[in-house]
Structure 1
Amino acid sequence: MTDRKRPHRNFYGRLKGKTLKASQRTYLDEDLDRLSPGPVDWALNPERSPLDLGKLFGPKPVWLEVGFGGGEHLVHQAQQNPQVGIIGAEPYINGVAMLLGKIRRAGVENLSVYPGDARDLMDVLPAQSLDRAFLLYPDPWPKSRHHRRRFVTPEHLEPLARALKPGAVFRVATDIEDYVRQALQEIPRCGFDWTARRPNDWRAPWDDWISTRYEQKALREGRTPHYLTFVRR
């Protein structure tokens, strides 16, 4: 038995929105358990045993998307990269239900879905087990007193760095200039190198990018997307 205690963590985002449609409740009832990455919750895994990613995906490289929103990017990447296993973490249950519907329609089989806080998932990811990670249009927490809630803080970045292999890619997309500033300050401090060499490296989207609903909203409201690529040192 382990003597590790469950960390106290505040959660500030939304867990549920509008009433789910009947079809979405069906997706949650019928598909979520099957697509779960394994015993992540403390009630199911009190010893915090590492996830068996080989059992989950076989010998495939493993990617992680933190906060997948409605899941369009996650499904797109799964379709474009069938040779990769991808885990998506999202505590907002409406977004989880939307993703499950997209998975059914797309018929992809290389996705796993964790409907909870990514920090809990990273507790049980084996060290140096991930080949890529995505943080796309995260909650900006615009007020200065709330910046500590952002993902680009050591509380989140240090366990992510532990889970990523040396040389693994970490992509961050945001339309909030102050979030870019904080990301460029904090992410390198946690073991990453920013790969940009010229302005187009952060102004232009990645070659395999699919524009999400969050990006489309940012463009409609006149904000400029930034595409930051880091490599685990």
Structure 2
Amino acid sequence: MSEHPVSPFDPNPPRRNFYGRRHGKTLRQSQKGYLSEDLGDLRPRGITIAENPERRQIDPATIFGDDRPVWLEVGFGGGEHMVHMAARYRQIGIIGCEPFINGVAMLLGKIRAAGVSNVSVHPGDARDLMDVLPDASVERAFLMYPDPWPKARHHRRRFVTPEHLLPLARIMRPGGEFRVASDIPDYIRQTREEVPLAGFALVADTAEPWEDWISTRYEQKALREGRAPHYVTFRRL
């Protein structure tokens, strides 16, 4: 990965390495249908360099049609948490980022089932989205059970590093909330160390979930395997 955050106005940003999976098991026919029929209308426009060669910023109001509060979920997995939040808080707009296409297909099926319309889906790297969102445009961000990258030499690939946290801090509104959930003690350790350095204050650090939490399949797997979930909340300074 690059050691320096990419400017949202840089027309020739450095090439980024991507280490996660983009494809998994063969998609079911219904999931292929979700991708072909639903994804196009839910994608925020102007994210890729090909679509936006000058890296101009996008206005979240054009995504949701008004100036409602915008939330961001980084790596939504199967989409349980994102759809739950969209259904519970209909007055907000939530953008989800996920490069794993199987997870995107799962999310689209949940969106159909829940009938929520206050969602937008970026099927790619969250860094590309953060590049083009305006300063102080996101009120709440979620990092729910991110890829742990357990080997020490891979810790720089984690989201809780300056390459990701500094762009996140730029797009977060002062006072905005950043939530992190993980069952990996060393990930929580790195989160506690790195996030405050990017301009956030620690608000809560607990084994008890948030009041509006919904347990995801990743959390259920952690509990089955004897790992204790942990929930950390930060506030943008």
CA distance in 2, matches of 1:160, 1:148: 16
Q: Which runs of 5+ in 1 are unaligned?
A: none
- 1:131 alignment partner AA: E
Instruction: Tell me what 2:229 maps to.
Output: 225
From 10, 28, 34, the equivalent of 2:35 is 28
CA distance in 2, matches of 1:208, 1:82: 14
Asked if residue 97 in structure 1 is aligned to residue 92 in structure 2, the reply is: no
Instruction: Tell me what 2:115 maps to.
Output: 107
From 81, 84, 92, the equivalent of 2:89 is 81
CA distance in 1, matches of 2:10, 2:171: 21
From 216, 222, 226, the equivalent of 2:220 is 216
From 172, 191, 212, the equivalent of 1:164 is 172
When the two chains are superposed, the root-mean-square deviation of aligned CA atoms in Å is 0.9
CA distance in 2, matches of 1:5, 1:46: 8
CA distance in 2, matches of 1:8, 1:193: 31
SS of aligned partner of 2:44: coil
CA distance in 1, matches of 2:226, 2:10: 51
Cα distance change, pair 230–77 in 1 and its aligned pair in 2 (3 A): same
1:166 shift after superposition: 0.4
TM-score scaled to structure 1, two decimals?
A: 0.96
SS of aligned partner of 2:226: coil
Q: How does 1:171-182 map to 2 (within 5 A)?
A: 171-182=179-190
Q: Which runs of 5+ in 2 are unaligned?
A: 1-8
Instruction: Tell me what 2:70 maps to.
Output: 62
Moved more, 74-83 or 44-53: 44-53
1:4 shift after superposition: 2.6
CA distance in 2, matches of 1:8, 1:59: 33
From 118, 121, 135, the equivalent of 2:129 is 121
| Runs of 4 or more above 4 Å deviation | none
SS of aligned partner of 1:37: coil
CA distance in 2, matches of 1:137, 1:220: 15
CA distance in 1, matches of 2:12, 2:173: 26
Q: Is the 8 A contact 2:10 2:55 kept in 1?
A: no
CA distance in 2, matches of 1:37, 1:88: 10
The size of the alignment, in residue pairs, is 228
- 1:232 alignment partner AA: R
SS of aligned partner of 1:205: coil
Instruction: Tell me what 2:25 maps to.
Output: 18
1:5 shift after superposition: 0.9
Instruction: Tell me what 1:5 maps to.
Output: 12
CA distance in 2, matches of 1:165, 1:218: 32
Instruction: Tell me what 2:47 maps to.
Output: 40
Instruction: Tell me what 2:151 maps to.
Output: 143
TM-score scaled to structure 2, two decimals?
A: 0.95
- 2:210 alignment partner AA: W
- 2:18 alignment partner AA: F
CA distance in 1, matches of 2:32, 2:24: 13
Q: Is the 8 A contact 2:25 2:102 kept in 1?
A: yes
CA distance in 2, matches of 1:79, 1:179: 29
Asked if residue 202 in structure 1 is aligned to residue 210 in structure 2, the reply is: no
- 2:177 alignment partner AA: V
- 1:28 alignment partner AA: L
CA distance in 2, matches of 1:193, 1:60: 25
